[in-house]
Chains A and B, each alone.
Chain A
């Protein structure tokens, strides 16, 4: 994916021996070092559930659960230790027969609404959930009313504008609109 930086552009590297030592040191750090974003021990590797159906349900939940120490990452994506813990917890609950909703409810009890990427529908979030539909409705209604009222407004044009409009309409019928599609383009 990445174009290898040409060596000519590289900054001068330290003397060879020092570089080796640095490499060794960094390697030691690399081996001891945990996940990228959270400064905490690495999560033990994920063990998928035996049943593919249950595992798929778990994965679907991971996608909508926020890693509570990360910046806008779901626990499906996050390498942080706590995300691993949360994944394990969810898998355990699903394996013990809890429904998806019960798992989510349990998460909300532990971590609050913040933990789900789906905000709850309650008094404080009505505007969030129904605002877009409301705006679309109002906008649509306004357009409808506007379209109906246009006919009335024509009568309110000044004589000058009337003349110009008539002139324009006249011209447009004489020379058809070139941007109209086939039946109108008159060639």
Chain B
């Protein structure tokens, strides 16, 4: 029994999807095509001349050990940001879900950090952890810990992860809370009557029913960590120390706009394009299978 609505001709459906195709073509295919085209050249910054180098830009990139290291940095950074922001958000959402009095205030307060722009969030955290005048640094100093993210790679990574994840917790919290509230109470009560403890209920009922939300947040958070954390990294570490926090997107910026090397910058954009395509395919093909709608 075919229940789908089908069109007889080809023109009407084409006309209906035309706006979508046009928008995709203008705002996605055209710039992406430009990036691929430019990645085959070494242009001078002013656009006065261009030299065909074929795949030379890619060869140059992959022979640079700092570029290769940037992949690992990006992976570590994205995973940490996603796990931290989703983990904390889920914990807070579970608490908020069980709250009876004052849950409105609690929720509103938790949503606030989402309104803070990444660059501003970066500056706020930087103030607290400033190596000479930061409040937290000062307390840590009293505890005998010498905080210096300017020189220490691990501390720098920790700080940008926390600053990036912080604003994201609000967003994830909202979705998790909505997801939790959509779970029918009767199912959970039935399980409770059967003697299932909180942890068993969570593992066998809540977590599977929450999986569409979790999957959605996973995709959105990884994309966030890849692209939108630029402001945080730029304000806190500028990619340092020794490139320990230079994620791929930051390198596109620094080679293109600090080094004026547009060929290398375009080649890096193309590499990013591939990574994001692969990630998306993997996510929808393999992870989504385990999601119960």
Do chains A and B stick together as partners?
A: no
